[in-house]
């Protein structure tokens, strides 16, 4: 198995924070990077041109959803996910593991895999590590993920059992993989338990994936617990491989993750908040439905360079929200994704300039918690 | 009352079809033109940049809706509709008359005006010709419309009564108007009755508006009746003023209207159909939800140059629709509006080239009815 098309160049380090470039068949990803989530092969309410204009470098799509609808075979027949959705840049697909565990009321786990019922029609399906890889090969993303078991973070017995199974499944995913133009990332599990996280980081490292992810965080644990787990795991994960913190998140999470050596993030937060009237800024969140914005001619953020802030007032956004107009979701999504992408661009520059600690402290201190 | 900022130049005529330029304070409108409808100060699901990219020359907004929410006073305070919605091109507002008559369950008409209940909260409101003009002056569109009474098309007694009142209200609108940077258009009514339409066209012509509209069509009458009324009215309306056929519509209606001397059209059809899965093409409509498109790699139309057809397959659009994704509405709206705008551009060129009759016959003969 060659990974010649994937190469991670670390170009600067400042404390534990890293700036790099991850080379993929569909383009270079400057890190740290935030990947907007396009669950069903669409970042909700945005055209692919919007994403280009936002200079999004990578997007994420969900294996579980695309397997159920329209089906990974159909996507493969249409030329793969890039062609199907009209996005020429890098794509990452998750393994479906998280959704199988979080969306399915009825699921049964055994050593071989998971049987679950579709959230769409109740039909029965079964994922194994091998099938997850096969689906992801059909989808054809640049980065694909090992099929893992995401346990509740506070149950030590279940966490260890799930972690051990995740390890065995990681090896099976590696063995099942056939395509050279996809990078398979391993996933570290282990809940909030240092000894489990440490063992998991060592084991996943030993499998020599071209990149490694930290899963099972941002699922209910405290921020301190999350930060401790990241620090502990990143001490073990190889520095010459990209590190991906799955399903995270907020601007603060990005700063705190980069501070602890994370390179890649993804989260539905910017688009989900947008659909619920909420704008993300470098100083906290704003509910654009708020009556105080009814006659406010200012943009969401007066220093923001996004399309929304360059063209529209808070008063107009509030009107669109009150009127139930779809454009509100589009405009606030553009702003929210811009906020996170601009933050990662600024974090990257601060690392290159050797100013990361100052930037991070300043940023976190002016953020309304 | 000067109208110096408004000038209509007829640059070519071919049969009754006309090509012209209507000059407004926010830019020139080449005619024939189709104006997409932005009911609540947003053409549903499109950014203003989408409209620019589609080369939309004018959009329409609804007085009734904007009066109720967010309020015309608020829009005025925010600098008027252009500033409020971030659209720098020409805007037309209707008078609110059509919505008062079509949306309000409870309405009471008297000589002075109409009392109605808000469709939003049941609160009671009253429109008079003077108030309609005042609201439209607050909104600040380039073209504003006289407040008219839109009758059922087949009741001769009510049609005449409504027409006479529309005439008196047209004069009151003209007297109420105070802004020089807005062109007030009169509206011809009279149902499907030739003698009423003739009388109405003569009376409205006598008021010497800078442009004239035909209202009360496309509300249930046959196509033949509509075409007859247009021909009859346009024989009377002055040729040196733009003629606007309100609330129309389909590609065939545009061709048939232009053939009979219409210059301006508006309709919610392209965006409404898009939100109901339907693409408009030069050969008829396509329901993009149809199973036959599931694995169809072609764009909606293989000859179409719109963003959607240049970037996305029928299979992808069908997937978005099946998945309930907002992007489907945006992408199909882009295509549908492009179809109508491209048609008006082609009609205009055919008129300039003296090829209108051939173009129209060819177009109508290949359209699936």
**From the CA of B296, how many Å to the nearest CA of chain A?**
8
CB-CB contact of B319 with A41 (8 Å)? yes
What average pLDDT score do residues B303-321 get?
98
Contact B84 A316 (CB under 8 A): yes
pLDDT of A1:
39
A52 chain-B contacts, CB cut-off 8 A: none
pLDDT > 70 fraction of chain B, expressed in percent and rounded: 98
Q: With an 8 Å Cβ cutoff, is A3 touching chain B?
A: no
Determine contact, residues B337/B271, Cβ cutoff 8 Å: yes
Q: How far apart are CA B58 and CA B55, in angstroms?
A: 9
Alpha-carbon gap, residue B150 to B104, rounded angstroms: 13
> Between chains, do A40 and B85 touch, taking CB under 8 Å as contact?
no
Q: Which helix (H) or strand (E) holds A362?
A: helix A356-365
Please tell me the least confidently modeled range out of A91-105, B68-82, B283-297: A91-105
Q: Give CA–CA dist B176/B129, Å, rounded.
A: 8
The half-sphere exposure of A326 on its side-chain side, counting CA atoms within 13 A, is 21
Q: Does the pLDDT at position B2 exceed 60?
A: no
Q: Is A266 a catalytic residue?
A: yes
User: Would you call B52 an interface residue with chain A, using a CB distance cutoff of 8 Å?
Assistant: no
- Phi/psi for B88 (5° steps) reads -90, -10
| Residue pLDDT, tens place only, B115-151 | 999 989 999 999 999 999 999 999 999 999 999 998 8
pTM of the model: 0.97
Are A45 and B326 inside 8 Å of each other by CB? yes
Tell me the mean pLDDT in the region B3-18: 92
**Catalytic one among A14, A72, A94, A253?**
A94
Check CB contact of A289 with chain B, cutoff 8 Å: no
Asked if the C-beta of B319 comes within 8 angstroms of chain A's C-beta atoms, the answer is yes
Tokens found for residue A7: 């190469």
Q: Provide the pLDDT for residue A353.
A: 98
User: Is residue B42's pLDDT more than 60?
Assistant: yes
Helix spans in chain B (H): 48-53, 63-68, 72-77, 81-85, 97-103, 129-139, 156-176, 194-206, 223-236, 251-259, 269-275, 307-311, 314-322, 327-352, 356-365
Check if A52 contacts B (Cβ < 8 Å).
no
CA dist list (Å): A88 to A25, A35, A40, A76, B332: 10, 14, 16, 15, 21
For A74, the closest of B49, B295, B326 (CB atoms) is B295
Dist. CA B134–CA B178, nearest whole Å: 9
For residue A297, give the chain B residue with the closest CA: B78
Average pLDDT, chain B: 96
CA distance A189 to chain B (A): 31
Q: Residues B188-200: pLDDT tens digits?
A: 999 999 999 999 9
Q: Which residues of chain A have pLDDT under 50?
A: 1-2
What is the pLDDT of chain A when averaged over all its residues? 96
Q: Please, are residues A54 and A341 in contact by the beta-carbon 8 Å criterion? A: yes
Tally Cβ neighbours within 10 Å of residue B106.
Answer: 10
B194 CA to centre of own chain: 23
Examine the residue annotation and report whether B235 is marked as an active-site residue of this protein: no
- Nearest-Cα distance to chain A for B88, in Å, is 11
Question: What is the average pLDDT across B159-166?
Answer: 96
In our burial notation (b when 16+ CB lie closer than 10 A, e otherwise), range B326-340 reads bbbbbbbbbbbbbbb
| Per-window interface: B 92-111 vs A, CB < 8 A | none
Please report which confidence band the pLDDT of residue B257 belongs to, taking 50, 70 and 90 as the band edges: very high
A289-302 burial: b if 16+ Cβ within 10 Å, else e? eeeebbbbeebbbe
pLDDT of residue A107: 85
pLDDT score of B4 more than 80:
no
Pairing of strands B114-117, A91-93: unpaired
Nearest to A40 among B41, B86, B323 (CB): B323
Cβ contacts of A49 on chain B, cutoff 8 Å = 307, 311
Tokens 């199988």 belong to A100
Please say if the pLDDT value at position B3 is more than 70.
no
Among candidate residues B94, B142, B148, B263, the one labeled active-site is B94
- What per-residue confidence (pLDDT) applies to B104? 65
Question: What ipTM is given for this predicted complex?
Answer: 0.97
Q: Which parts of A193-259 fold into alpha helices (H)? A: 194-206, 223-236, 251-259
Map residue A54 onto helix, strand or coil: coil
Q: How far is B354 from chain A (nearest CA, A)?
A: 39
Task: Using an 8 Å CB-CB cutoff, list chain B residues near A48.
Answer: 311
């Amino acid at each position: 198995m060659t990974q010649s098309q994937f190469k991670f160049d670390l170009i600067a380090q400042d404390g534990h924070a890293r700036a790099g470039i991850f080379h993929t068949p569909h383009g270079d990803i400057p890190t740290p990077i935030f990947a907007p989530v396009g669950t069903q092969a669409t970042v909700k309410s945005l055209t692919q041109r919007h994403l280009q204009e936002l200079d999004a470098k990578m997007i994420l799509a969900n294996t579980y959803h695309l397997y159920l609808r329209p089906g990974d075979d159909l996507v493969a027949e249409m030329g793969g996910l890039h062609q199907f959705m009209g996005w020429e840049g890098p794509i990452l697909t998750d393994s479906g593991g998280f959704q199988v565990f979080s969306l399915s009321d009825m699921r049964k786990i055994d050593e071989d895999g998971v049987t679950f019922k579709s959230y769409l029609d109740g039909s029965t399906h079964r994922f194994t590590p091998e099938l997850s890889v096969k689906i992801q090969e059909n989808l054809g993303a640049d980065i694909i993920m090992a099929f893992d078991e995401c346990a509740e973070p506070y149950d030590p017995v279940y966490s260890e059992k799930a972690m051990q199974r995740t390890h065995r499944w990681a090896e099976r995913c590696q063995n099942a993989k056939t395509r050279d133009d996809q990078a398979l990332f391993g996933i570290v599990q282990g809940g909030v338990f240092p000894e489990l996280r440490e063992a998991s980081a060592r084991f996943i490292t030993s499998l020599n994936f071209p990149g490694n992810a930290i899963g099972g965080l941002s699922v209910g644990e405290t921020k301190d617990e999350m930060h401790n787990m990241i620090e502990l795991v990143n001490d073990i994960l190889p520095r010459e491989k990209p590190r991906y913190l799955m399903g995270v998140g907020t601007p603060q999470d990005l700063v705190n993750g980069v501070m602890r050596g994370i390179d890649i993030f993804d989260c539905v937060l910017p688009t989900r908040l947008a659909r619920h009237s909420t704008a993300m800024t470098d100083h906290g969140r704003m509910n654009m439905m708020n009556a105080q914005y009814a006659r406010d001619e200012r943009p969401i953020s007066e220093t923001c360079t996004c399309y929304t802030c360059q063209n529209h007032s808070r008063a107009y956004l509030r009107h669109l929200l009150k009127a139930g107009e779809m454009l509100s979701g589009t405009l606030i999504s553009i702003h929210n994704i811009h906020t996170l992408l601009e933050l990662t661009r600024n974090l990257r520059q601060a690392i290159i300039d050797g100013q990361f600690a100052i930037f991070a402290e300043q940023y976190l201190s002016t953020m309304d918690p």
